A and B are shown apart, each in its own frame.
Chain A
Amino acid sequence: MDSKRKDFAHKLIGSGRAAAFRSDVIESIMNGGHKPSYAPQLHPNYRPPEERKLRTGEKCTPSVCFSCHNTCECLVYTDAVTGDVLRVEGDPESPQTHGRLCAKGLSAADLVYNPERLKKPLKRVGERGSGEFVEISWDEALDTVASKMIEYKKKYGPGGVAMLEGTKRGWSRSYSRLANVFGLPNHGAAGWAQCLWPRLIDVNITFGRGLNYPETYDIPNADCLVCWGINPAVTWGGGRGGDIMEARQRGAALIVVDPFLSETAAKADIWLQLKPGTDTALALTMIHIIFERNLQDQEFLDSYAYGTEELRKAVEPYTLEWGSRITGVDEETILKATLLYASADSASLLRCLAVDQQHDSIQACRALSCLITITGNIGKPGSNNICSSRGERKQDTLDFIRYKDMPKDVEKLRCGYDEFPLLTQEFSPVPTAHMPTFWEQVISGKPYRIPCALIFGSNAKVIYTNATLVEEALKHFEFLAVSDLFLTPTAKMADIVFPASSWLERNNVISSFQTCNTCTLIEQKVTTVGEARDDIDIVCELAKRLGVADSFWPSQAEFYDWILEPTGLTFREAAARRRLYAPQPYGKHKTDGFKTPSGKIELYSTLAESKGVTPLPYYTPSFQGDEATPELKKEYPLIMSTGRHEVAFRHTENRQNPLLLELNPYATLDINPHTAMSLGISDGQKVLIESTAGKAYARARYTVGLRRDVVQGIAGWAGDQNINRTVPWGKYAEGVGTVCARGYLCRVSPVEE
């Protein structure tokens, strides 16, 4: 069946392409004559709820899927009598998704019914890591963890107890609040310096705290969309991914920057296939071209930008010829993309994880913010923008996480405090430890020991870079508590495991800018699994036992009522409305300005400078590669990007779900067939990947969508399939300490089976 399908698909598609396809789109945008109109359209076959009949015995509850941070509105179908979850579907009424939903959301019922789900708290009885546990009561589990936190803090000081987290299955910073109120400086996550924090630190220093211009888009009104290091077709499928396809269909141009011919790149009008690790070079080249040709929005810059002339001077060396040589993208394509972006009446640039995982993450983000700013794509219809408040209390503030509660002398104990000030100090969204430094200290015990840790919603053993060292470090804890849905490889290392609830078992108020420009979404609990509890409940219960209950809430129920209090609604009332709406504002900068020392967008960042970080974006080659380590390149001839995210998974999640494993049953290594054949590797064959840090196994997946000198791994697989074992440490991005996960060297060889 499979080979028949593949043969037929190839025959159906053939090789003929209409030359005129979409040629008018680019032309009209570049001539400024393109005026796309947009009205959200219902699906052509949409019928209102009163014309839709449920199956007999079924009940339908609206909620919000939290299988990833795009958080799509959805409908959960349950058995009207037993309450069992039957399936999750998209919501045709949703203004956010119009009924679309991705594979993760559609198959989410597995979270509730998977036989491996944890239902009771566990206490370790065997050797650490043996997986031998006994079930205990919640009181015993919470009492044990709280008393250990108090005991270790007393014995080893505040640095001796760490609070680590991951996705946490929901967007709440109550866990960060607990770290600050209880006074634990070593709070951190596998993401953060590797995901989102470089972008948000850039926001905080370039535009002013919380002014998320580069993270917020106006897709419906944009003439031109630039997807930079993001593949929304699979990572934001139900929400913004679909919006991008709609925008493209009504005539917006799509530019994609990606080393791989991703699902999104496949639909691009211009695809810039750059070498991993050269994003900053490409952005700086584009800025150079725009200044050189006088295409900048000078009026906007004169009014709202600080450091225009300094930037102009700083990008002088980054000519088109130079940029093409460094990035590997031909001059014509770079020029065409730059002219298209710069001449569009309005353009939204979407940047994501790829820029966070560069060797120079903060400079890559800063360069992109400069690119957005010099073209004046700030705060107008169709451009990068900010959201309006929908009235509820915000969690993404230093006040919410009680940053000031932690005494300065305690904060300075934080791992990497002096070396990575943008990550560890006040310009960070959540000031946080530098994790490679942290893990090395867990092993070395110097300058002080860290024998106790909590890990909430993070499969640390798998998802950290340089995984071999982290696996070793996890053995060094004397006491470890983990909160998760399943007995993950990390949970197996724990002394106490809390069974956490999935999104189907909890309420949530989702107001993240990552979700929706115009709505705060209300997620509703639909079921209960064993004794599993909401992480926020667990945080509140720990707070009581740590003597800091007055800074928390009796439970998640009161927490959400408190979050919504300024709107005058209770959680129940908000849930009945489904969402809180506020239109995207335009031109807020004209009245509110920017929250930087100069009151302007700081192309020249005085705040970066104040922390000893280079104030103007500049290019440095990746830590390993042709430019930095030509000798090493002989031994490790291929450039690795561990960037790809499959639609089936979020980070390490979902690998217990049969319907999703069916999509991606094992770790794969994307490789160009020319390269593979020269190495004697056939499609689907097991391969060994080696780097200066370690080795991992995968199965080769042929693709002509990669350069011949680039391979692509997929993070999130455990054990010897864990590509993170090959990601080297030792050199980190300036100011924020990012590990380079895209653009280091490796070699690949076939494995006989």
Chain B
Amino acid sequence: MENCYLIINIDRCWGCRSCQVACKVEHGLTDKDSRPMEAIRVEMEGESCATCEAVPLTCMHCDDPKCASVCPQEAIYRDEEGLVQVDEAKCVGCGLCSKACPYGAIGLKTVSGKRKASKCDMCRDRRSRGFMTSCEQHCTGGAIVSCGEGRLQEMLSPFPYKWSTGKTIYVSQKISSLGKF
């Protein structure tokens, strides 16, 4: 199978948080579980007036995933699409992955009374049945699009500014300092 990517266009996100709820509903998560997808509002005091951007934050599916390297159970693995996944059968819910992730992208959920690591699985089940990921379908701004390796360059070409550490790619035509830290 070809690699799968999630392209997030910051210029189109206005922070409505549909993605956040869509993700929880699709994965049967409750309000007590962590949020695999969350839109964060970033405000700045501008010169003439304040400005605001919003960023949907989720798993980066890193090329070098810190969560996997600290997992004592080796429960975090890379799947056939190059995505970082949690094997819930192996996971004991110790939470070390959550501490290790620099982006706050992996947390914990409760499944049948047991704690398990919880993060974006790129709607693996949904896509296998011909659906889009729930976040990209429901996004009111059309900011999120998943795509395979074949279409990747075409999808990225309009954007001069990009940032990524893996399969999730933030893009913009506006944020010239995107990810320069």
Contacts and interface: CB of A to CB of B under 8 A. Distances in A.
Interface residues of A, number: 70
A663 interface: yes
Nearest to A267: B14
Contacts of B30: 658-659
A647 B19 CA distance: 12
A333 B57 CA distance: 33
B40 A5 contact: yes
A89 B16 contact: no
Interface in B131-181: 131-132, 134, 136-142, 145-147, 160-161, 163, 170, 173-181
B31 interface: yes
B2 to A, nearest CB: 14
Interface in B45-67: 45, 48-55, 57
B52, B57, B129, B177 pick with most chain A CB within 10 angstroms: B52
B72 interface: no
A107 B21 contact: yes
A308 B26 CA distance: 56
A661 B30 CA distance: 11
A89 B137 contact: yes
A242 B145 contact: no
Contacts of B102: 4, 8
Nearest to B136: A45
A166 B133 CA distance: 36
Contacts of A10: 42
Given A13-B175, A233-B14, A241 B140 contact: yes
Contact of B174 (A21, A242, A647): A21
A45 B25 contact: no
A234 interface: yes
Contacts of B54: 263, 266
B139 A100 contact: yes
B15 interface: yes
B140 A92 contact: no
Contact of B98 (A1, A21, A660): A1
A40 B168 CA distance: 27
A664 to B, nearest CB: 10
Nearest to A329: B49
B94 to A, nearest CB: 15
Interface in A1-48: 1-6, 8-18, 21-22, 43-47
B138 A106 contact: yes
Contacts of A106: 18, 21-22, 25, 138
Contacts of B180: 14, 16
Contacts of A9: 40, 42, 55, 57
A99 B132 CA distance: 10
A1 B31 contact: no
A43 B31 contact: no
B14 A51 contact: no
Nearest to A99: B137
Contact of B31 (A238, A659, A703): A659
Interface residues on B, range: 35 or more
Contacts of B178: 12-14, 16
Contact of B17 (A51, A663, A703): A663
Nearest to A249: B12
Contacts, number: 207
A15 B21 contact: no
A336 to B, nearest CB: 12
Interface in A680-730: 703-705
A245 B144 CA distance: 13
A99 B53 CA distance: 24
B145 A44 contact: yes
Given A12-B170, A53-B129, A5 B142 contact: no
B174 A18 contact: yes
Given A5-B104, A45-B145, A261-B52, A14 B43 contact: no
Interface in A66-92: 87-90, 92
Nearest to B52: A266
Nearest to B26: A87
B98 A234 contact: no
A92 B43 contact: no
B121 interface: no
A446 interface: no
B141 A242 contact: yes
Contacts of A13: 10, 42, 44, 53, 55, 175, 177-178
B113 interface: no
A29 B10 CA distance: 24
B77 to A, nearest CB: 22
Contacts of A101: 18, 22, 138
B156 to A, nearest CB: 13
A11 B179 CA distance: 6
B130 A102 contact: no
Given A4-B103, A5-B105, A241-B140, 20 more contacts: A3-B104, A5-B40, A5-B104, A10-B42, A12-B179, A17-B51, A43-B142, A46-B132, A52-B130, A99-B132, A100-B18, A101-B18, A101-B138, A103-B21, A241-B16, A245-B14, A245-B142, A261-B50, A659-B21, A705-B50
12 contacts: A4-B104, A5-B40, A5-B103, A11-B179, A14-B181, A16-B178, A17-B174, A18-B174, A51-B130, A89-B134, A263-B54, A647-B16
Q: Which 6 A-B pairs have the closest CB atoms?
A: A16-B177, A14-B177, A4-B104, A5-B104, A658-B31, A266-B52
